Amino acid sequence: MEVQVSPSCRTICWAVCLATLSGPSVAEDRCKLYPTGSVIEYSYELVGPDACLAFCEQTEGCVAWSYTPHTFNPKTAPGECRLLPDDGTREDHARDFCGRLDG
């Protein structure tokens, strides 16, 4: 027996699957978060916004993060990762990344 699935149902199913696989947060391009209070932790050893996001996910109390790549070699050089206990203040910034954890 063959089951027919409407195109709209397929679209909804794919959207649900992709949302489930996307993870708890994604990096926003061209933004910087400034803490409203203190920073949980700084790291100058991480390369890329994905590493900063992963560090936030593994750190208790981290709600949001902001990553600034160094300008001398942004593909391989470490940058500055800031882990925040709150959503902070968001500002547009030409070369930075930021994100908030969902949940």
Six-digit token pair at 24?
A: 């708890």
What domain range is 85 assigned to?
25-100
* The pLDDT of residue 96: 92
Distances (CA, A) of 57 to 15, 51, 54, 76: 24, 10, 5, 22
The tally of CA atoms less than 13 A away on the side-chain side of residue 29 is: 0
| Domain membership flag for residue 1 | no
In a domain, 4, yes or no: no
Q: pLDDT by residue (tens digit) across 26-77?
A: 567 788 988 888 999 989 888 889 999 999 999 999 999 999 988 666 566 6
For residue 35, the model assigns a pLDDT of: 85
Per-residue pLDDT, 13: 37
Query: Structurally, how many domains does the chain consist of?
Result: 1
- Would residue 44 count as lying in a domain? yes
Asked if residue 10 is part of any domain, the answer here is no
R_g over Cα of the chain: 18
CATH number of the CATH domain containing 57? 3.50.4.10
Of 9-23, 47-61, 73-87, which one has max mean pLDDT?
Answer: 47-61
Q: Where are the alpha helices (DSSP H) in 22-74?
A: 49-57
Q: Does position 2 have pLDDT exceeding 70, yes or no?
A: no
**Tokens in use for 1?**
């027996």
